[in-house]
Structure 1
Amino acid sequence: MTSYAERRSQLTTYFDRTAVDAWARLTTDAPVSKIRATVRAGRDAMRANLLSWLPDDLTGTRILDAGCGTGALSVEAARRGAEVVAIDVSPTLVGLARERSAELLGGHRIDFRVGDMLDPWLGRFDHVVAMDSLIHYSAGDIVRALAELGLRTDGSVVFTVAPRTALLTVMHAAGRLFPRGDRAPAIVPITESGLRRRIGAEPALAGFAMKRTQRVNSGFYLSNAIELTRTTPRSQAGEKVRAP
């Protein structure tokens, strides 16, 4: 099974080289195919859903956009007053995000970075948002990532996974038939019940509760949003405080 580090490396290559032009087009209003139009609509709906789970007024809060892509979610959070750290493994996508956000932020700013969303030196956050950045990982790696993020989060972690459906399972299998150089990193379908069990068994997430879920189904875009909300202070949950 592909490790977290190996999959992260694949994602860097894919989004920074193979798919950067297609991704840049998908995240604008430029004409796209009917299939990609459904993906665009689905992503827009999911982004709006995740943002609706955050407070309307984010003044004084620190937000991590974990896997920021071209920065649309980061811009909206910054407009609400948040101090946003936006990180992605792709230098090219982060460059696009910086370029696009410059005209949209007004007096706000975003701290864009290239790197690993699990880097402990990013510091502490009130909320973490990971939209479609964990969908390429196994359930075990997802929970380990959530545990690392949870150690540095005082409010909520909202994220998406690919729900295990018959269609996604077939698409996942069919993707392996493409030549290796043409493959996108596989999306790993996850069952919500299995993920709940794993989260419940992870000591570092003992201070969190799964508050709500929401599925978005738009043609070729299918994703399941989940909100983990801190219910117990870190000291009572027995979590270790990590740097910084």
Structure 2
Amino acid sequence: MTYEATRERLETYFDKTASRTWEALTSDAPVSRIRQTVREGRDTMRAELLSILPSDLTDARVLDAGCGAGQMAIELAERGANVVAIDISPSLLDVARRRTPEHLLDRIEYRAGDMLDPTFGTFDAAVAMDSLIHYDAADIARAVGGLTARLSSGPLAFTVAPRTSLLVAMWWAGKAFPRGDRSPAIQPHRAKTIQKSLKNKGFKTELTEHARVSRGFYISQALEARG
């Protein structure tokens, strides 16, 4: 499936099919035990990605690629960053705006669109948490290489689904029993596979592996990319 086709399916899923589910998941509302593990895993991963960036981001222009309900964007703004928060789901962006403290609204620009759109300009750093986990290695390499090329000095902190036996089994199960009402399947990858794809495409981007987070049904690998 092409990048564009996957992106269209994700837009439908996050903006229509499951927008209320994700609004609840990213709040303090009660959720099922399984979804609670996902919430805890995402909280842990968000902290891990933030640890890759400087603690003081005063006046830095930072991209939050796939900002969802705005949790990452708010924390970046609290560090002093001017955040461009991009997401394909207008409904989740509405949630993000409602949740953003008033004193931070002038530091966060919420925009609907493609996180790879070059018209958003250049940045000092970027974060892409669970925004690329549905794509194949070639598309991830193009995205990471393209985003890294638009950074002036800082890193791109992002996640992939690690290639574990559990995630590979879940991926094959999803292919065997597809359902139209859920998001495209998560695609597990090894960091070295993405690094090889970056090199093959001519990017000088170098990847560094950081912590892997595993909480119940949430499994994700933090990576750092620098040009």
TM over 0.5: yes
Change (3 A) 1:179 1:147: closer
- Whether 1:219 aligns to 2:216 is yes
- Whether 1:147 aligns to 2:151 is no
- 1:4 is matched with which residue? 3
Count residues in correspondence: 226
Q: Whole-Å Cα distance in 2 between the matches of residues 46 and 226 of structure 1?
A: 11
Q: How far did 1:193 drift?
A: 2.1
Q: How far did 1:44 drift?
A: 0.1
Q: Aligned partner of 2:70: which letter?
A: G
Identity between Structure 1 and Structure 2 (%): 53
Q: Name the SS of the counterpart of 1:136 in structure 2.
A: coil
Q: How far did 1:33 drift?
A: 0.8
Q: Whole-Å Cα distance in 1 between the matches of residues 217 and 28 of structure 2?
A: 18
Deviations 1:136-182 (A, max 9, x none): 00000000111221221122111100011111111112223545322
Q: Name the SS of the counterpart of 2:56 in structure 1.
A: coil
Q: Aligned partner of 1:123: which letter?
A: G
Q: Contact conserved, 2:148 with 2:226, CA < 8 A, in 1?
A: no
Q: Name the SS of the counterpart of 1:211 in structure 2.
A: strand
Q: How far did 1:196 drift?
A: 2.1
Q: Whole-Å Cα distance in 2 between the matches of residues 124 and 64 of structure 1?
A: 9
Q: Whole-Å Cα distance in 2 between the matches of residues 88 and 59 of structure 1?
A: 23
- 1:80 is matched with which residue? 79
The TM-score with structure 2 as length reference comes to 0.94
Deviations 1:169-224 (A, max 9, x none): 11112223545322321101112221222223332x31x33234221111100000
Q: Contact conserved, 1:158 with 1:228, CA < 8 A, in 2?
A: yes
The within-5 A match list for 1:51-200 is: 51-103=50-102, 105-106=103-104, 108-154=106-152, 155-178=154-177, 180-200=179-199
Q: Contact conserved, 1:25 with 1:32, CA < 8 A, in 2?
A: yes
Q: Contact conserved, 1:211 with 1:227, CA < 8 A, in 2?
A: yes
Q: Whole-Å Cα distance in 2 between the matches of residues 107 and 137 of structure 1?
A: 32
- Whether 1:209 aligns to 2:221 is no
Q: Whole-Å Cα distance in 1 between the matches of residues 158 and 95 of structure 2?
A: 22
Deviations 1:51-72 (A, max 9, x none): 0111111012110000000000
Q: Whole-Å Cα distance in 1 between the matches of residues 116 and 195 of structure 2?
A: 21
Q: Contact conserved, 2:77 with 2:104, CA < 8 A, in 1?
A: no
Q: Whole-Å Cα distance in 2 between the matches of residues 121 and 209 of structure 1?
A: 24
Q: Whole-Å Cα distance in 2 between the matches of residues 152 and 126 of structure 1?
A: 8
Change (3 A) 1:200 1:179: closer
Q: Whole-Å Cα distance in 1 between the matches of residues 176 and 198 of structure 2?
A: 33
Q: Name the SS of the counterpart of 2:124 in structure 1.
A: strand
When structure 1 is superposed on structure 2, of 187-196 and 17-26 the one drifting more is: 187-196
Q: Which runs of 5+ in 1 are unaligned?
A: 231-244
Q: Aligned partner of 2:125: which letter?
A: H
When structure 1 is superposed on structure 2, of 193-202 and 9-18 the one drifting more is: 193-202
Q: Which has the larger radius of gyration?
A: 1
Q: Contact conserved, 1:150 with 1:157, CA < 8 A, in 2?
A: yes
